[in-house]
Structure formats: C-alpha cells, structure tokens
Amino acid sequence: MVFSSLYFLFLYLPIVLFAYYIAPLRWRNGVLLVLNLIFYAWGEPVYILIMFASIAIDYTHGMLVERYKSRNNDKGARLAVASSVVFNLALLFFFKYWDFVAGSLAAAGLGFMPKLGLRLPIGISFYTFQTMSYTIDVYRGNARVQKSIVNFGTFVTLFPQLIAGPIIKYKDLGDQIDSRTHTVEQFASGVQIFVVGLAKKVLLANNIGMLWDAWKAVPAGELTTAGAWLGAAAFSFQIYFDFSGYSDMAVGLGRMLGFEFMRNFDYPYISRSITEFWRRWHISLGTWFREYMYIPMGGNRVSRPRLFFNLLAVWAATGIWHGASWNFLLWGLYFAVLLILEKAFLLRWLERAPSVVRRVYTLLLVVVSWAIFAVEDLGRLGIYLKAMFGGAEGGLTGGAVEYYFFSYLPILAIAAVASTPLAAALWKRLPERPMKVLLPFLLLAGLICSTAYLVDATYNPFLYFRF
C-alpha cells in the first residue's frame, strides 16, 4: 500500500506545490481538490467513491440545515443534522466495526452477521468526524454554510491532514478555505515545521520502534519485568514521535499552501496529571469529543453520578474510535477510570504533592496505557501487564534487557529530551544572529539524514494510518 511509506509523499509534494502556485488565485481550490483526490485515489482507488459520497451528502445536508433554519423550521434542521450524523456513523460502522461486531457475536454463538473482510478506507475515522461536525456547526450557527461544493470538497479532502489528522473542524478552517494569504515567511515556516516533523518520524519514531518490536515478539516464558517496561517505554516514545511527527508535517504542509491548522500536541509527557495529559495529547480529537459529545451530554454541569457516566461514555467512544478491538475499548475505559478518580479526589491530593511526584505518577500510568493500546491480543496483553507488575515468567530482569537498554541508550536519551520543551527553550536563548545562520544548516541536515534513512529503509508506516 502506497501510504505505508513516505516515498509517494516526497514524490507528490513538489507536483502539488508547483501546480498550486502556478494556478490563478481563483482556481487554486479547484486545483487543490483535484490534487487531493489524486493523492487519496493513488492509495485507495476504489474508496474514492466513498469520498465523493461523503462530500456530496454532507454538502447537501449543510444546505438543507441552512434552508430549514432560514424558514424557522427547527424540526427540519434537526432532522437534517441527525440524517448527516447517522450517515457518517453508519459509514464508519460498516467499514471499521462490522467485522469486529460480527466476530464478537459469532464467538457468543450468534453467527447471523457474516464477516465481510473489507479493507478499512484510509483516514475514514478523521474525515467522517470532520464532515459530521460541519452540519452540526451550521445548525448551531458556529459556521456559515459553504455554497461552493468545490470549496467544501477541498476542505474534506485537504491532503496534508486527510490521512491521520489533526481533525480540523470546518468552523476553524472555513474562512481560510474561502480566502487565505500566501507569504514567503509563512511558506518558510511551513518548510521548517515539516522537516522537524519528518525527522521526528523517520529518525526517532522508526528507530525507537525497533526496540518495541523486539520486546513485543519476546515469548511469554522469556519476558521479564524490566524488559516489559523497557518495551512499553519504547512504544510510548514511538507513538508520540510518530503521531506528533505526522501532525507537524501536516501543519507544515498546510502552511506551505496558506492554511493554519491547530496544534495537535503540547509536550504531553511533562504533564502532572492524567487530566493535563489529555489537554496536551491529540488535542484535536479531545476537542472534538468535548464539543460534540461531552458538552451536549451535560459536561461537568451535572450531578456527580451523571458526570462519571459522561466520562465513561466519552472515553469508551474515544477508545473504540482508535480501532475495532477490545484492547482499545479497555484503553479508553482505563483513562475514564483514572479521570473519574482524579475528579473525585486525586487531583486535590496531587495539587499538594511535589511536581516531580505528579510527573512520575502521570508518566507511569501513561506508559501502562500504551501497553494496553499496543497489544491487541487480550491473552498476550494479560501476560504483558502481569510481567510489568512483577509477574514475569522470566523474572525481574535478564541479560537481554541490559543488551537492548545500552544498545538503544543514545536514542532513548535523545527521545527523552526531545519529548520535553528543554531543547526549544535552549534554542530560544541563543542570540538571534547565530540562530538565523544555524537554522538552514540544521534543517538541511535533518532533511538529508531523513532522506538517507528513507532510501535505506523498506517500510515506514505511520501508526495512525490504520485508525
């Protein structure tokens, strides 16, 4: 599959930029729409039809909502919104969850739903949420209806963030779709952000991922407690640099085309509570669930039992959004329980604790969560979690742990520093002139090293492409 590597993006990006910038301003959205669709169709030629259907149906529903509102027909407008939501959720369920539900029912002796074995359309979890929020925001009055289907199609298919986010709401991008500025400074900053994201993905995530792959494959009888924690820590770094790297690349590509996307990560591993962690991790997803599910359910302006129910429901949905597997549901419920405990009493206790204690508490719980997230087989997950908490068949540690730890120590140290604001803070303290001289050389070095790695590597998957 083409999207399993960065090669196509590298080949396609110059074509996109050239075609986009030679086109007259009034044609650029149309040109971008065609280029977006080619980008998507190259990896999923059949599923381009789903993209067309999604554009047409949600564009039409937005127009219906606006028409009913102009006639003071609130019931009709609400029905149009409900119809849009049902379509998008049905689309998501059919492709992403049908086989999961069918398999679960078959395991319970209810085999009336056949497995279809359909390939998951790339990015469907992202663009269905984006188009669904469009009609909701038009109804709420938070966004103007888009009269141009070309402009709306450009929003839905915008290739920098089409595949793995960040999730962009139309109300935040609508004005930029209609009219945006292009400056040399904006383009240059986009290149800088793109190269940083590329280096995160290729030089850090891919390499640290090899350590996780090694421990994930260790037989149960050889798994040690120290090794299980080392593997979980490696995956924690891998998923952060993989996903934040892609998000940075998307933001950078957006700037090259005149768009400003929201920041998706804010150094989540320095958080001092799980509540704070989820304000810093995958910000666009957390914002979406808060605005379109948590707040409509009453948010925190409800009784304590209802608040806890709201958190359970939202985090169950957040977990299962990531994938059709029981471990993702457990992952979501794990965070729901932690957030409920923090709202009930833990946050008050944490506020009185030293900052280092709060950070260690958060980081340990987050690393455990990534073990739940990464191991999809529940039997293997139980063995892995048992090993993490001292029940490893291989004992507490072993020679393999020392070998892998010291072999990967340099990249682990770099990843640890790079996941904090320390490097950025030190960079800002440099005098302005050396910064201007050094920056182009550092970016060029990052680009060359990343490109060299890509040429040598045969497989460069983005973890979130499968969600």
Give catalytic residue positions.
322
Q: How many helices (H) and strands (E) does the chain have?
A: 23, 0
CB 11 within 8 A of CB 42: no
Distance (Å) of CA 458 to CA 3, 5, 240, 324, 425: 13, 8, 22, 27, 35
Amino acid at 322: H
CB 122 within 8 A of CB 129: no
CB 130 within 8 A of CB 169: yes
Q: Hey, how many other C-beta atoms are within 10 angstroms of the C-beta on 208?
A: 25
Alpha helices (runs of H) in 141-218, residue ranges in sequence order: 149-157, 159-162, 170-178, 184-199, 206-216
Q: Tokens for 325?
A: 């597997």
CA dist., res. 77 & res. 169, Å (int): 20
Instruction: Please choose, from the candidates 460, 466, 464, the residue with its C-alpha nearest in 3D space to the C-alpha of residue 9.
Output: 460
Of the CA atoms within 13 Å of residue 328, those in its CB half-sphere come to 13
Distance (Å) of CA 341 to CA 332, 337, 349, 411: 14, 6, 11, 35
